[in-house]
Amino acid sequence: MPTGVPDFDYLTGGVPTGSVLLLFGEAGAGHQEFALTSAVHLMLHYDDPRLHQFYLGNAKGPFVYPEGIAYVSTSRSREQVIAELHGAFDATYAEVLSRHLNFHDLSPAYFQDTVVPSSWASLSSPLLSSAPVTAAPDDGGPLRTLAEAVDQDGRKNLVIVDSLTDLVVRRGIEASDLVTLLKGLRRRAKEWNGIVYLLLSKGVAPEAVEQAVIDSVDGVLHFSWVASPSQSHRQRAMVIDKFMPVLARLPAEYHGRFVIRVSSASGLVTTQYERV
C-alpha cells in the first residue's frame, strides 16, 4: 500500500498491508502531518486520480488502496480535527478527508471519572459527581473502547489512532496493559489488509515504555527537529528506525535521514535524504 507521501513511496515501494506503524517524534516535527497527508492523498485515488498520481510520482505499483479512513481519537472531536486540517492546509484537504472519514470519538471513555466537566466531553452525566460510574467494572476503560473502535473499522481501511500519547499519561492505564493491547493489535491487523498509524510524542512516556511500544509494532518512523551549525534555522527530519520489510529492500544509500517539509499546498513531503 502506498502512503501517498511524495517521494517516500518512490524510495520505499510503499508499506506492507497489515502493518502497524508507529509515528513517533518530537512535538510538531511531522508525525501528525504525515498521518493526515497520507490519509488525504490516498483518498485522492478515488476523488481525483490525476492529482493522486502527481503526489505518487514515479512510485511503481501495483498498489492496494484502503477503502476509507478510520480516525480514532482519544480526546479530540471530529470537528476539532477537521478545523485544524482546514487551518493548516488547502481547503481541499479537509473536504477530501471529511468525505471518507469514519470518526470514533473516545472522549466519553477517556474523560470518564476525571476532573473534566461532562459538558466538555459531551458526556451524559457529571464526571465529578459522587454517583458510581455506570460502566461495568471490567469494561476495560479507554483501552477496551479503543480496541473495539479499531476492530469495528480496521478492515481494508487506513486507521489513525490519535494518540498513544494521551493513553500513556492517563491515570489508571497501566503501561503493561497498553503494550499488551498493541501486541494484540499487531496480530489482528494482519487480517485486515489495511494499515494502522499510531501517534506517539517522544519523551512523554518513560524510556522503557517507549522501547516496549517500539518492540510491539511492525515499523517506526521517527520524526525530529534538526539544526546545522552553519544554518540559523531548524528543519524537520524523519528516520525509519524499524521496519524490516521496508529496510530489507531499501537500497543502502537511502538508509539515512529524510529531510521533510510541510506546506499548506502539498502537506508533508520528503524532499531529500542525507546519510547520518
Q: Does domain 8-127+138-274 have CATH number 1.10.10.10?
A: no
174: left (phi over 0), alpha (psi -120 to 50) or beta: beta
* DSSP assigned state of 28: T
The pLDDT value given to residue 59: 86
pTM (two decimals): 0.91
d(CA 166, CA 199) in angstroms, rounded, equals 10
The pLDDT value given to residue 253: 75
CB atoms within 10 A of CB 18: 18
* More confident of the two residues 58 and 205: 205
Length of the chain in terms of residues written:
276
Q: Mean pLDDT check: name the lowest of 15-24, 140-149, 195-204.
A: 140-149
Residue 90 has pLDDT above 70, yes or no: yes
Q: How confident is the model over 10-54, as pLDDT tens digits?
A: 888 899 999 999 999 999 999 999 999 999 999 999 999 999 999
Cell numbers 478545523 correspond to: 83
d(CA 12, CA 249) in angstroms, rounded, equals 8
Asked if residue 157 lies in contact with residue 67, where contact means CB atoms within 8 angstroms, the answer is yes
The pLDDT value given to residue 118: 78
> pLDDT-based confidence at 61, cuts 50/70/90?
confident
The pLDDT value given to residue 133: 35
d(CA 115, CA 110) in angstroms, rounded, equals 11
For range 223-249, the mean pLDDT = 86
Query: Residue 270: helix, strand or coil by DSSP?
Result: strand
